[in-house]
Structures are given as structure tokens and as C-alpha cells.
């Protein structure tokens, strides 16, 4: 089944402007498009290795609410993006003064 559209009283210049507008919108979308990356989960050990700290530090930060744990069964995971989001520039951390 073929579908046709007939345009009446539309100049070629108007059609060209419509297509230019569409091309501009597509270009803007391409520039701001970010493909969704899958959530990466880290175990406590992986997180301790990534942050170069002890497992007890991970436990303390979790207990204080600085890190959000996610669980499945008796396994605990942390979202990498959330961990990276709570990292602050040095000097902005509570008690982290640096000259």
C-alpha cells in the first residue's frame, strides 16, 4: 500500500526551509546525544581498590551515609557513578584543608 502526500500552494523555497530546519534540529540532537551506558556495580573489595583504602573505611563511609550500598542476597555493591559523584575536589571535603 503506497501513501502519498500532495502539497498545495507550497513553494519549493518553503519546502527547502522546512528541510533545513529539520537538518538543524537533527544536528543539535546529535551534539547533545549521549548513549546510555549500563550501570557499573562495584563490590566492596573493588571499591576499596579503586579508592585505595581499607575495607573498614568503605564500611565506615557506608555507615555514615556517604556511600549508598545496594544488595543482592548477602552481596553488597556500589554504583560507580554514585561513588564518583560524591568525590569532591580537595579542600571542599570536611576537614580536608590543603595549602
Task: Note the maximum CA span of the chain.
Answer: 75
Distance of CA 59 to the CA centre of its chain: 25
Q: CA–CA separation, 73 vs 66, rounded Å?
A: 22
Determine, yes or no, domain membership for 98: no
Does residue 33 carry a pLDDT above 90?
Answer: no
pTM above 0.95, yes or no: no
Please, which residues bridge with residue 41 across strands?
Answer: 79
Mind listing the pLDDT tens digit for each residue in 61-81?
Answer: 999 999 999 999 999 999 999
Residue 7 pLDDT level (bands cut at 50, 70, 90):
confident
Residue 66 counted as domain residue: yes
d(CA 67, CA 63): 8
Domain count, the chain: 1
Cα–Cα distances in angstroms (integers) from residue 47 to residues 34, 39, 51, 67, 94, in the given order? 26, 15, 6, 11, 21
60 pLDDT higher than 70: yes
With respect to residue 60, please indicate whether it lies within any of the assigned structural domains: yes
What's phi and psi for 92, nearest 5 deg? Answer: -95, -20
Contact 15, 23 (CB under 8 A): no
Residue 99 lies in a domain: no
Range of the domain at 48: 41-86
Amino acid at each position: 500500500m503506497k501513501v502519498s502526500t500532495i502539497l498545495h500552494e507550497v513553494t519549493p523555497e518553503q519546502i527547502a526551509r522546512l528541510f533545513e530546519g529539520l537538518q538543524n534540529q537533527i544536528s543539535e540532537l546529535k551534539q547533545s546525544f549521549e548513549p546510555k551506558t549500563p550501570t557499573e556495580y562495584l563490590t566492596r573489595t573493588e571499591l576499596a581498590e579503586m579508592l585505595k583504602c581499607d575495607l573498614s573505611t568503605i564500611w565506615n563511609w557506608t555507615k555514615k551515609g556517604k556511600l549508598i550500598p545496594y544488595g543482592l542476597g548477602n552481596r553488597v555493591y556500589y554504583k560507580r557513578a554514585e561513588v564518583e559523584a560524591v568525590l569532591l575536589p580537595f579542600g571542599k571535603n570536611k576537614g580536608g584543608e590543603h595549602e
